[in-house]
């Protein structure tokens, strides 16, 4: 169980905050049974594929352009790992915290869609969502919840172009829309910043935490292992996300009554 005194201190921060940023990574979805593998969205079992190439190459923009069948093979493996997974208590706790805080944002690296499934409303999926497909040629978009019946690669029903999941592959730029939303919200500032279940290896993930820390904004990390931002944060919980976020939520609600 997380330290009750630390939980109480963080609960006080949340209770008085008018805004909060929650940054999440693969570790939060691990509690739903998803592995924290390498690869797009943190999901892939090995550094190399059956083709003998690095997974970063197989799941890259250039490979999709040259050999979409190879990329789609591994995207299908990724989707099959996600397909029957449900949000866990960490996702649900964030939904409840969102309801209690006047303005909050969840910034996630995950492509599994579990924050949406849990009910998070103000969400930036900075790496996209594996359930959304789009056609790069004609702009057709659709939402799917299984790749099981797909040919590889699947074709657009409108123009017969090659469909792709709306995710950021290796070597690709971050999507402009979500990035603009994130930059706009960061410019407004937050009263408290959480980082949950991520090693914070990308600058757009670690940056908001480091900046907040330097500006004197309270920062909270929830991760069993130390990360690139651990020495910057105000409070650190080396515990699972669900257990810790539930305890914080209970303390916030309990003292508010």
Domain 4-34+87-127+173-256 adopts which CATH fold?
Rossmann fold (3.40.50)
Q: What does the domain layout of the chain look like in residue ranges? A: 4-34+87-127+173-256, 39-84+130-167
pLDDT tens per residue across span 233-242:
999 999 999 9
Can you give the pLDDT at residue 52? 76
Can you give the pLDDT at residue 42? 54
CATH class of the region 39-84+130-167? alpha beta
> Which of 153-172 are b and which e, b meaning 16 or more Cβ less than 10 Å from the residue's Cβ?
bbebeeeebbbbbbbbbbee
Q: Please enumerate, as own/partner, the contacts of 241-245 that have beta carbons within 8 Å and a separation of 24 or more.
A: 241/24, 241/27, 241/28, 241/31, 241/90, 241/196, 241/197, 242/31, 242/88, 242/89, 242/90, 242/93, 243/1, 243/2, 243/89, 244/2, 244/7, 245/89, 245/90, 245/93, 245/94, 245/97, 245/196
Can you give the pLDDT at residue 41? 53
- Residue numbers of the chain with a pLDDT score lower than 50: 45, 257
For the annotated catalytic residues, the residue numbers are 127
pLDDT tens per residue across span 26-56:
999 999 988 765 555 555 545 556 677 888 8
Can you give the pLDDT at residue 55? 85
């Amino acid at each position: 169980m997380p330290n009750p005194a630390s939980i109480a201190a963080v609960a006080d921060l949340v209770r008085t905050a008018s805004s909060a940023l929650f940054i999440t990574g693969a570790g939060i979805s691990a509690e739903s049974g998803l592995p924290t593998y390498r690869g797009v969205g943190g999901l892939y079992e090995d550094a190399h594929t059956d083709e003998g190439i690095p997974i970063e190459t197989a799941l890259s923009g250039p490979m999709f352009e040259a050999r979409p069948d190879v990329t789609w093979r591994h995207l299908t493996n990724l989707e099959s790992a996600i397909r029957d997974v449900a949000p866990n208590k960490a996702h649900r706790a964030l939904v409840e915290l969102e309801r209690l805080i006047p303005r909050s944002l969840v910034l996630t690296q995950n492509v599994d869609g579990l924050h949406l499934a849990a009910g998070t409303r103000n969400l930036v999926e900075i790496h996209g969502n594996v359930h959304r497909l789009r056609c790069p040629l004609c702009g057709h978009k659709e939402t799917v919840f299984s790749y099981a019946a797909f040919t590889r690669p699947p074709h657009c029903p409108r123009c017969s172009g090659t469909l792709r999941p709306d995710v950021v592959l290796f070597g690709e730029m971050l999507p402009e829309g979500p990035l603009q939303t994130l930059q706009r919200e960061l410019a407004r500032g937050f009263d408290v910043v959480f980082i949950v279940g991520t090693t914070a290896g990308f600058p757009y993930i670690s940056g908001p935490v480091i900046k907040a820390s330097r500006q004197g904004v309270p920062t909270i990390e929830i991760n069993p292992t130390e990360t690139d931002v651990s020495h910057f944060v105000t409070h650190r919980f080396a515990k699972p996300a669900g257990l810790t976020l539930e305890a914080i939520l209970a303390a916030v609600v309990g003292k508010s009554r």
